Amino acid sequence: MSKWLNPRSAFGIALIAAALIALPFVAAMGGQAWVRILNFAILYVFLALGLNIVVGFAGLLDLGYIAFYAVGAYTYALLASPHFGLHWPFWVILPIGAAVACFFGVLLGSPTLKLRGDYLAIVTLGFGEIVRIFLNNLNAPINVTNGPQGITLIDTVAFGDFRFSGTSQVLGVSLSGPQKYYFLLVALAIFVIIINLRLQNSRIGRAWQAIREDEIAAKAIGINTRNLKLLAFAMGASFGGVAGGVFSAMQGFVSPESFSLIESIMILAMVVLGGMGHIPGVILGAVLLSILPEVLRYGVGPLQMALFGKMLIDPESLRMLIFGLALVLVMRFKPAGLWPSPERKRELSEKRAGAV
Partner 1 sequence: MKRHRKVPFLHVAVDLPKMDIFLQQIINGLVQGSIYALVALGYTMVYGIMGLINFAHGEVVMIGTLVTITVATTLIKAGMPVAVAGLAGLSSAVLVCMALGWGLERIAYRPLRNAPRLTPLITAIGMSIVLQNVAMIVWGRNYLTFPHLLPKVNFEFAGAHFTAIQVMIVVVSGLTMAGLVLLVYRTKLGMAMRATAQNPQVASLMGVNSNRVISAAFVIGSALGALAGVMVGTYYEIAHYQMGFMLGLKAFTAAVLGGIGNLAGAMAGGILLGIIEALGAGYIGDLTGGFLGSHYQDIFAFIVLIVVLMFKPSGLFGEKTGDRA
Partner 2 sequence: MQAKLSVVALSVAAALAMTACGKKEEPKPAAAPAAPAAPAAKPVIVVKLGHVAPMTGPQAHLGKDNESGARLAIEELNAQGLEIGGAKVSFELLGEDDQADPKQGSIVAQKLVDAKVAGVIGHLNSGTTIPASKLYSDAGIPQISGSATNPKYTQQGFKTAFRVMANDVQQGKSLGEFAAKQGVKTVAIVDDRTAYGQGLADEFKKAAEAAGIKVVATEYTNDKATDFKAILTKIKSTKPDLVFYGGMDAQGGPMAKQMKELGIKAKFLGGDGVCTPEFMKLGGEATEGNYCSLPGMPLEKLAKGPEFKDKFTKKFGMDIQLYAPYVYDAVMVMADSMKRADSVDPAKYLPAVGQTKYDGVTAMIEFDQFGDLKGGEISIYQYKGGKLEYVETLGGSAVGAVKEAAAEVKEAAKAVAGAASAAGADAVKAGAEAVKGAAEATKAAVEKK
Binding stretches for partner 2 (CB under 8 A): 31-33, 36-37, 40, 136-137, 139, 147-150, 152-153, 165-166, 177-178, 251-253, 255, 257-258, 294, 297, 314, 316-317, 319-320
Least distance to partner 2, CB of residue 63, Å: 18
Q: Rounded to the nearest 5°, which phi and psi values hold at 339?
A: -140, 75
Q: Is the dihedral of CA 51, 243, 267, 136 positive or negative?
A: positive
Q: Does the protein bind partner 1 through residue 82 (CB under 8 A)?
A: no
Residue 126 touching partner 1 (CB under 8 A):
yes
Residue 272: contacted member of partner 1, partner 2, none (CB under 5 to 8 Å, by partner type): partner 1
77 or 210: CB nearest partner 2:
77
The strand pair at 168-170 and 162-163 is best described as unpaired
Binding partner 1 (rule: CB under 8 A), the pick from 42, 210, 268, 296 is 268
DSSP states of 256-287 as a string? GGGG-HHHHHHHHHHHHHH-TT-HHHHHHHHH
Contacts 24+ apart (CB under 8 A), 109-114: 109/229, 109/230, 109/232, 109/233, 109/234, 110/230, 113/225, 113/226, 113/229, 113/230
Identify the sign of the CA torsion 145, 122, 235, 164.
Answer: negative
* Site size toward partner 1, by CB under 8 A: 53
The answer to whether 272 contacts partner 1 (rule: CB under 8 A) is: yes
Our finding on whether 168 is near partner 1 (CB under 8 A) is: no
Instruction: Pick the binder of partner 1 from 31, 82, 321, 346 (CB under 8 A).
Output: 321
* Single-letter amino acid, residue 214: D
The answer to whether 123 and 63 are in contact (CB under 8 A) is no
Q: What angle do CA 13, 16, 20 make, to 5 degrees?
A: 135
User: Which of 4, 8, 29, 141 touches partner 1 by CB under 8 A?
Assistant: 141
58's CB contacts (< 8 A; 6+ apart) are 208, 211, 212, 228, 229, 232
Amino acid making up residue 19 = A
Q: Which run of H or E residues covers position 29?
A: helix 10-29
Nearest to 257 by CA among 151, 134, 78, 132: 132
> Minimal CA–CA distance to 252: which of 101, 108, 76, 21?
76
Binding site partner of 163, from partner 1, partner 2, none, Cβ cut-off 5-8 A by kind: none
State the nearest-atom distance from the C-beta of 257 to partner 1, in Å. Answer: 15
Q: Which of the ranges 5-13, 166-174, 250-258, 263-271 carries the binding residues for partner 1, by CB under 8 A?
A: 263-271
79 versus 135: smaller Cβ distance to partner 1: 135
Does position 129 interact with partner 1 (CB under 8 A)? The reply is: yes
Could you say which of 17, 133, 153, 295 contacts partner 1 (CB under 8 A)?
A: 133
| C-alpha span between 324 and 333 (Å, rounded) | 15
Of 140 and 171, CB closest to partner 1: 140
Please state the closest distance from residue 258 (CB atom) to partner 2, in A. 6
What is the distance between the alpha carbons of residues 101 and 332, in angstroms, rounded to a whole number? Answer: 35
Residue 126 identity = G
313 binds, among partner 1, partner 2, none (CB under 5 to 8 A by kind): partner 1
Question: Using CB distances below 5 to 8 A depending on partner kind, what does residue 152 bind out of partner 1, partner 2, none?
Answer: partner 2
Binding partner of residue 252 among partner 2, partner 1, none, CB cut-off 5 to 8 Å per kind: partner 2
Interface contacts to partner 1, rule CB under 8 A: 55, 61, 111-112, 114-119, 121-123, 125-127, 129-130, 133-134, 136-137, 141, 214-216, 261, 265, 268-269, 272-273, 276, 313, 317-318, 320-321, 323-328, 331-332, 335-336, 344, 348, 351-352, 355
